[in-house]
Amino acid sequence: MKKFIINHYDVKSVKIGKSWDKTKIVMLSDLHDNSYGIDLDEVYRNILMIHPDYIMIAGDMYNGEPGCANKNAEQFLTKLAGKFPVYYGLGNHEYRLMIHPDRYEGMYAEFMAMIRKTGIHLLKNESMEVKRQNSSIIVSGLMLDYTF
């Protein structure tokens, strides 16, 4: 697919404090280092127009293919993290890089270096409290077994 889709959802719950009213969260996944030819500059411009408070990533921004430099994903994530708080749960492609470092020749180490450099919050089978004024939500990242 060579397009991206924007969907808007309003989430309302008495369990979420009033300080979260009008909070905007952008959820991204499966860009696979732009292997589908999506214009990442256009995606970034659309994100800027939304004015999100947070970026949540559901994995597979990197492409888990041997020899893939993942520079498109790295540049895109670096731009996002320079402007917004970013929370990142691993997808199966990042997980693959992690569990097979010999096959992917240091690609996971490069991914982790980018995570550290940009300050992205990486969630590997863990949760993090995100506070907003006097209220908070819990954001979690779950790594599924590779055979899943």
* Residue 4: strand, helix, or coil: coil
Q: What is the 3-state secondary structure (H, E, C) of 56-69?
A: EECCCCCCCCCCCC
Query: Looking at the whole model, is its pTM more than 0.85?
Result: yes
Reduced to 3 DSSP states, what percent helix, strand and coil does the chain have, rounded to the nearest 5? 35, 20, 45
pLDDT of residue 52: 98
Is the pLDDT reported for residue 59 higher than 80? Answer: yes
Burial 107-140 (b: 16+ CB within 10 A, else e): bbebbeebbeebebbbbeeeeeebebeeeebebe
pLDDT of residue 148: 55
Is the pLDDT reported for residue 49 higher than 80? Answer: yes
Tokens at 55, concatenated: 């970026």
Residue predicted with more confidence, 79 or 1: 79
pLDDT of residue 144: 79
Tokens at 68, concatenated: 């893939």
Q: Is-contact 107 72, C-beta < 8 A?
A: no
pLDDT of residue 146: 65
pLDDT, tens only, 76-133: 999 999 999 999 999 999 999 999 999 998 999 999 999 999 999 999 999 999 999 9
Q: What is the 3-state secondary structure (H, E, C) of 55-102?
A: EEECCCCCCCCCCCCCHHHHHHHHHHHHHCCEEEECCHHHHHHHHCCC
N residues, the chain? 148
